[in-house]
A = this chain, B = another copy of it.
Amino acid sequence: MPKEPLLTAWEAFTKDKMEDLKWKQFNVGTGGTICLVDWMGDDFSIVEAARVSYGEGTRHTSGDRQLIRYLMRHWHSTPFEMAELKFRVRVPMDTWRQWIRHRTASVNEYSTRYSVAIDEMAATLPGEWRLQAESNRQGSDGFFDVVDGGALLSAQEAKFHKDSRALYEERLEMGVAREQARKDLPLSNYTEAYWKVNLHNLFHFLRLRMDSHAQKEIRDFAEIAGREIVAKLFPFAWEAFVDYRLEAIQLTRLEIEVVQRMMTRLLIHRTSTYTENFKEAQDPAWKGLKKCRERDECIEKLEILRILPKGSLEVLARD
Question: Is A153 in contact with B174, judged by CB distance below 8 angstroms?
Answer: yes
Question: Is B253 in contact with A124, judged by CB distance below 8 angstroms?
Answer: no
Report which of B35, B52, B208, B251 forms a contact with A251, defined as CB distance below 8 A.
B251
**Distance from A16 Cβ to chain B, minimum over Cβ atoms (Å):** 15
Q: Determine the chain B residues whose CB is within 8 A of the CB of A157 once the complex forms.
A: 184
Chain B's closest residue to A171 (CB) is: B153
Given contacts A133-B177, A186-B184, A215-B179, contact A38 B49 (CB under 8 A): no
Within 8 A of B (CB), among A39-65: 39-41, 45, 48-50, 52-55, 57-58
Report which of B70, B133, B180, B194 forms a contact with A82, defined as CB distance below 8 A.
B194
Within the oligomer, what is the number of copies of this chain? 4
Chain B interface: which of A136-144, A221-229, A311-319?
Answer: A136-144
Q: Determine the chain B residues whose CB is within 8 A of the CB of A232 once the complex forms.
A: none
Interface SS, A side: mixed
Question: Is A110 in contact with B260, judged by CB distance below 8 angstroms?
Answer: no
Chain B's closest residue to A196 (CB) is: B82
Question: Is A94 in contact with B183, judged by CB distance below 8 angstroms?
Answer: yes
Question: Is B256 in contact with A249, judged by CB distance below 8 angstroms?
Answer: yes
Question: Is B160 in contact with A174, judged by CB distance below 8 angstroms?
Answer: no
Q: Determine the chain B residues whose CB is within 8 A of the CB of A104 once the complex forms.
A: 103
Given contacts A115-B54, A306-B267, contact A184 B198 (CB under 8 A): no
Query: Is A231 an interface position by the 8 A CB rule?
Result: no
Query: Is A120 an interface position by the 8 A CB rule?
Result: no
Total interface residues on A, using CB and 8 Å?
Answer: 125
Chain B's closest residue to A74 (CB) is: B213
Q: Determine the chain B residues whose CB is within 8 A of the CB of A251 once the complex forms.
A: 248-251, 305
Question: Is B114 in contact with A55, judged by CB distance below 8 angstroms?
Answer: yes
Query: Is A107 an interface position by the 8 A CB rule?
Result: yes
Chain B's closest residue to A100 (CB) is: B100
Subset of 22 A-B contacts with CB under 8 Å: A3-B23, A49-B194, A52-B108, A53-B114, A54-B111, A55-B115, A55-B116, A57-B115, A58-B114, A81-B196, A92-B183, A97-B97, A133-B177, A138-B178, A139-B177, A144-B174, A153-B171, A157-B184, A160-B167, A183-B186, A196-B198, A248-B256
> Which 4 pairs from chain A and chain B are nearest by CB?
A55-B115, A140-B177, A81-B106, A40-B40
> A-side interface residues toward B, CB under 8 Å?
1-3, 23, 25, 35, 38-41, 45, 48-50, 52-55, 57-58, 69-70, 73, 75, 78-79, 81-82, 84, 86, 88, 92-94, 97, 100-101, 103-104, 106-111, 113-116, 118, 121-122, 124, 129-133, 137-141, 144, 149, 153, 156-157, 160-161, 163-164, 167, 170-172, 174-180, 182-188, 192-194, 196, 198, 208, 215, 242-244, 246-256, 259-260, 263-264, 266-267, 272, 293-294, 297, 304-307
Q: A82-B194, A129-B176 are in contact. List 14 more A-B contacts (CB 8 A).
A: A1-B23, A52-B110, A55-B116, A82-B108, A82-B196, A94-B182, A130-B177, A153-B171, A156-B170, A183-B186, A247-B253, A249-B251, A256-B305, A267-B272
